[in-house]
Amino acid sequence: MNDKKFYITTPIYYPSDKLHIGHAYCTVATDAMARYKRLCGYDVMFLTGTDEHGQKIEDKAKEAGVTPKEYVDNIVEGPKGVLDLWKLMNISNDRFIRTTDGYHVSAIQKIFKQMYDNGDIYKGTYKGKYCKPCESFWTESQLVDGKCPDCGRDVVDAEEEAYFFRLSMYADRVRRLLEDTDFLEPRSRVHEMVNNFIKPGLEDLCVSRTSFTWGIPVDFDPGHVVYVWIDALSNYITALGFMNDRYDDYEKYWPADVHFVGKEIVRFHSIIWPAMLMSLGEPLPKKVYGHGWLLLGGGKMSKSKGNIVDPYLLSERYGVDALRFFLLRSFPFGSDGNFTNELLIQTINVDLANDLGNLVSRTTAMAEKYFGGKLPEAKQSAELDKELISLTTGLRARYEEQMERFQFQNALEEVFKVVQRANKYIDENAPWTLAKDMEANGPRLAHVLYNLLETVRVCTVLLTPFMPESCEKIFAQIGAGPDAQTWDSAAQWGVLPAAVSVAKGENLFPRIDLNKELAELDRIQEEAKKAALPAIEIEPQLEEKVDFDTFCKSDFRAVKVKDCQNVKKSDKLLKFTLDDGTGADRQILSGIAKWYKPEELIGKTLVAIVNLPPRKMMGQESQGMLISAVHTEKGEECLHLLMVDDAIPAGAKLC
């Protein structure tokens, strides 16, 4: 039996819209952590899932004309839904919970009842403010400029009979937990919680609703549904079998080692969740880590910001591993980071193509070129090797220190320092010069390549949690079998066999042409914007009435096009020579060159208003105006000249 256990969770996602790359951020981080712990030999439980109740989902389903369950089923299980996304991103969760799962529903009813029975939940009247999109209740004093302090949107007045949780009673214990222990990290979040929520006074929390039905019913009081956060937070224990018999590993894995959560939901995890567990008499999770947000243009990411943040598009273009790597390499986990396409491409080019990709391909290519892919046993070491070897053998410890603190960026920085040092080692040893005299230098050249392969191996073991598929390919290229891929082996030197066989494979991280790619992404973005525009837009009708006599003053006539030409120096105007039935030609200029070629209009019967005062355009006189129909399609203005039956004689009056 393995007594090294590690239980890690992500927040369970709202299936109210498709997920974007910001949502994937936390799950990728959790996945890297889970893989790292498995690599270290832990028995890992990695839980994720979906949080499917609440008014927002009920409203969205209504809008879509489906039931709430049909709505969430589609976003969770449907094409490009939550499950598909985690599969795409190579997420290795051990369990997936949906809060609509029957075992969870009945466990929540039992949890609610236990807290009611022990007096921590009581019935009262709720008066306050409610933010619909966040599904959060607020007191007047918590609002910021009268708006929701989380999302800045309008709140509404709410008053109804409701159940309350005695959160106020737990204020001191929660405060001590936050201030006196490492329960919540990074530390800056502790000050935020204590100053913003605990010091002003923790009020009892409204934990039931009667104004909508899409929630878990309070079974002993029909009409009430359980507040969605009580339902959602409990997922971390119901998914292990707490108060249900669907699973039976609550004793084994609880308390969780860490809950990874975004900074805006730290409040729920570090105040409400421990208080709930205190009320239930259950152990508290060991840690809550509040990570920062991925921002877009300095603001919060949202689906409405288009497809730049679509993880499907990004992983299709750059590969899943490159995307996973970028997310954890480019931003410190505890702080916000600004996502840009440029940063993504540069990270791929610099770290993956130039540094890692180059190291692997140069090393394997030279092993093939100089030794036919199999290194000879005879080797010759040199003073020059010492620094690389000691840097590499010490890497695991430096990496571990950072990983244990969830500092993924720093852990990767340590690995890449070694990768860069190895590239420098190639230049210092100039294998191409050694290869000029194989008889004299063969053993030294073999040793240089062996040292490089060992360095690549150690780095690859430690990169596996971040880029599992690419690392598997690198192991195959450098001839590293299962024993050379273990955590133990990452702190050892000389694990690859002396006569290791190497096979240069595909280029794992092709370099991207930055400017070309940015232009292409702009084009894709523009197209997506257009596709999102309404198909056809028609100008609204005028409110203002025109009296009949005024209308009758306009003289509309059928006119036949005798000639039509482009106007010199104008890309807009066409010049028409028209038969208007009077016997004299009428000239009209019209700005429609964008839609018609002159020759396609000759002979057509059009409609013109002929009693407008003449006006000059590009130095030529226009005697009237042709009538067109206009509308907007996908953001583009469209125009159609009004053409009438050719049987209508020139000059016929239209009335």
Site for ligand MSP, rule CB under 6 A? 11-14, 22-23, 25-26, 51, 232-233, 235, 261-262, 264-265, 293-294, 300-301
Tokens 């990728």 identify what position? 28
Q: How far is the CB of 11 from ligand MSP (least distance, A)?
A: 4
Q: How far is the CB of 73 from ligand MSP (least distance, A)?
A: 17
Distance of alpha carbon 117 from alpha carbon 294, whole angstroms: 42
Q: How far is the CB of 89 from ligand MSP (least distance, A)?
A: 14
Distance of alpha carbon 218 from alpha carbon 108, whole angstroms: 9
Nearer to ligand MSP, 235 or 605 (CB): 235
Q: CA torsion 518→520→522→523, rounded to 10°?
A: 170
Nearer to ligand MSP, 13 or 36 (CB): 13
Give yes or no for a contact between 179 and 194, defined as CB atoms under 8 angstroms apart. yes
Distance of alpha carbon 334 from alpha carbon 287, whole angstroms: 14
With CB atoms as reference, the residue minimizing the distance to ligand MSP is 262
Give yes or no for a contact between 66 and 116, defined as CB atoms under 8 angstroms apart. no
Distance of alpha carbon 214 from alpha carbon 235, whole angstroms: 17
Nearer to ligand MSP, 339 or 370 (CB): 339
Distance of alpha carbon 543 from alpha carbon 400, whole angstroms: 71
Nearer to ligand MSP, 294 or 502 (CB): 294
Give yes or no for a contact between 496 and 479, defined as CB atoms under 8 angstroms apart. yes
Nearer to ligand MSP, 233 or 320 (CB): 233
Residue 122 Cα to chain centre, angstroms: 40
Distance of alpha carbon 230 from alpha carbon 216, whole angstroms: 10
Nearer to ligand MSP, 82 or 484 (CB): 82
Nearer to ligand MSP, 51 or 579 (CB): 51
Nearer to ligand MSP, 9 or 429 (CB): 9
Give yes or no for a contact between 122 and 501, defined as CB atoms under 8 angstroms apart. no
Q: How far is the CB of 52 from ligand MSP (least distance, A)?
A: 9
Nearer to ligand MSP, 112 or 450 (CB): 112
Question: Helix, strand, coil shares of the chain as percentages rounded to 5?
Answer: 45, 20, 35
Give yes or no for a contact between 117 and 89, defined as CB atoms under 8 angstroms apart. no
**Beta-carbon-side half-sphere exposure of residue 191 (alpha carbons within 13 Å):** 3
Question: Nearest Cα to 111, choosing from 242, 211, 248, 265?
Answer: 242
Q: How far is the CB of 278 from ligand MSP (least distance, A)?
A: 17
Distance of alpha carbon 415 from alpha carbon 458, whole angstroms: 9
Crossing angle of the two packed helices 273-280 and 102-117, in degrees rounded to 10: 70
Nearer to ligand MSP, 51 or 101 (CB): 51
Q: How far is the CB of 237 from ligand MSP (least distance, A)?
A: 11
User: Residue 145: left (phi > 0), alpha (psi -120 to 50), or beta?
Assistant: left
429 to each of 9, 363, 365, 424, 463, how far by Cα in Å? 47, 12, 16, 9, 26
Nearer to ligand MSP, 302 or 611 (CB): 302
Give yes or no for a contact between 320 and 90, defined as CB atoms under 8 angstroms apart. yes
